[in-house]
């Protein structure tokens, strides 16, 4: 049984490596804890929850999914566009996604790729 460490870190704008640095532990160890391959103490769970701004029981709850963007409003807009286009009638959803990405990440990230 794993923990939702990665999902909560993403919500805080962090990566798993950022959390590992704050805990002063190797990323491989934190990754093993997150996936359930390594046992963990309650003390460490409290430290992880404190860094992620959640409670220990919330670390056990599975999140629905991690969105494409950090901004929940943009993820909601993409979700609505996707579900409104289930028959393929609206071909502009790709352009909407690109505009949302440009708004979220900035112009430079699209031009640099």
Q: Is the model's pTM score more than 0.75?
A: no
Q: What is the pLDDT of residue 47?
A: 95
- Token duo for residue 72: 């929940």
Environment class of residue 6 by beta-carbon count within 10 Å: exposed (0-12), middle (13-18) or buried (19+)?
Answer: buried
Q: What is the pLDDT of residue 113?
A: 45
Give span(s): CATH 1.10.260.40, the chain. 5-60
CATH architecture of the domain formed by 5-60: Orthogonal Bundle (1.10)
Rounded percentage of the chain residues whose pLDDT exceeds 90: 26
- Token duo for residue 75: 């993820």
Q: Which residue has the higher pLDDT, 65 or 102?
A: 102
Compute how many other C-beta atoms are within 10 angstroms of the C-beta atom of residue 56: 13
Query: Is pLDDT at 73 greater than 70 in this prediction?
Result: yes
Token pair 């391959």 in the structure block, residue:
37
Please give the average per-residue pLDDT across 39-63, as a whole number. Answer: 88
Token pair 């046992």 in the structure block, residue:
39
Q: What is the pLDDT of residue 110?
A: 45
């Amino acid at each position: 049984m794993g923990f939702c460490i990665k999902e909560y870190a993403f919500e805080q704008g962090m990566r798993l490596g950022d959390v590992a640095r704050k805990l002063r532990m190797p990323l491989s160890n934190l990754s093993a804890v997150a996936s359930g391959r390594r046992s963990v103490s309650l003390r460490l769970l409290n430290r992880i929850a404190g860094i992620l701004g959640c409670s220990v029981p919330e670390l056990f709850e599975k999140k629905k999914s991690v969105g494409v963007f950090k901004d929940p409003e943009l993820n909601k807009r993409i979700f609505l566009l996707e579900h409104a286009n289930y028959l393929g009638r609206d071909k502009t959803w790709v352009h909407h996604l690109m505009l949302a990405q440009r708004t979220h990440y900035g112009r430079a990230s699209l031009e640099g790729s």
